Each structure stands twice: as C-alpha cells, then as structure tokens.
Amino acid sequence: MRRLLITLGVVFGLLILGYFMFKGSYNRMVEENETVKGAWAQVEDQYQRRHDLIGNLVETVKGYANKEEDILVQVTQARAAAMAAMQSTTSDGQPDLAAIQQSQSKLGGAMRGMFGYTENYPDLKSSKLFSDLQAQIEGTENRLSTARSRFNDTVQGYNKLILAFPNNFIAGMFGFKERDYFKSVDGADTAPEVKF
C-alpha cells in the first residue's frame, strides 16, 4: 500500500510539474507574440507620423513652386501607395512586410527627390516652416529605423521561443507561427540618384 501511495505521489507530482511547465511555456509564447504586435504597432505609428508630415511638407513646397508639379505628384502618389500598403496583410493575417517596405522605399526616394528639388529654390530652402518640417521628417526617419530594429529584435526573440524544443510542440498545438523579419527591398544598398 505504501508503495502505491509513493507511486501515485510521484505521478501526481510529475503531472503538476508538467502542467506548470506547459502553462509557463504557453503564457510566454502569448507574451512574446503580443510584444511582436506591439513592436509592429510602433513601426506603424512612425509610418503614420511620416505620412502626416509629408502631407504638410508637400503643401509647403506647393506654396513656393506651383510650376514643379511633377515632383509633388510623385511624392503624393508614393504617399498614397504607402498608406494603402500599411493595410495589406498576408494570407495568415500578418502585415505584408514586403509590400510595406517596397512602398515605403518608393516614398523615401520620392522625398529625396523633393529635398533635392529645393536646392533650386533658395527662398523655400530658407523657409522656417520648410526647415522645421524637414527636420521633423529626418527625425521620423531615425525613429523608423529604431522601430524597425526593435521589431526585428522582438521577432527574433519570439521565433527563438516557438522554434526551440519542447516549445515547438506547444506552439504547433496552439497555432503559434514563425513571424517574418522586416527586410530591406532590393536595391536599398545603393544610394538613390537625384536628377533634375
């Protein structure tokens, strides 16, 4: 009888230990998944800030140079495409990072063209409003870079967690899937050429 009680006690202890290990792993996956979502929300927040500032910047430039519509149209169209891409998702409901990055890259190129364009307009270049907007956009670009790095760091931590043994079994049972990293688009390693 004593042997049976000891065996039942050991089995019961192992079950309790297994339960707490399982619960801990699952809860950590949920926490890391939410951290990834939060990091992505920060990236989206900086993109939204960028889009808002670009609208103001385009209007400021328009006020100084109505003749140069082409470059302003390019920036406006790139901004609209980038905002639309922010709503795109993959088949599993995750943000479509490739589409977002590609549209944001085009927007960045169009903006560089607009900033280069201002070299021909000393009054615009010296305008306090334009200078303030340009400084804010440059700050936003730095914030975007930081937010994307943090996003990739959180994705890395999450992916390591769900791919490691034995967590990979728990992740598979509850549908936790590997997340994509934010990557640069093709050609991002070469500096854009600004021509007028």
Q: Which residues contact 119 (CB under 8 A, 6 or more apart)?
A: 125
The whole-angstrom separation of Cα 97 and Cα 88 is 9
Tell me the pLDDT tens digit for each residue of 79-95: 888 888 777 777 777 77
CA-based end-to-end distance of the chain:
93
Instruction: Give the model's pLDDT for residue 193.
Output: 47
The whole-angstrom separation of Cα 141 and Cα 194 is 19
**What is the SS3 assignment for 180?**
coil
171: pLDDT strictly greater than 60: yes
List the structure tokens of 61: 């430039």
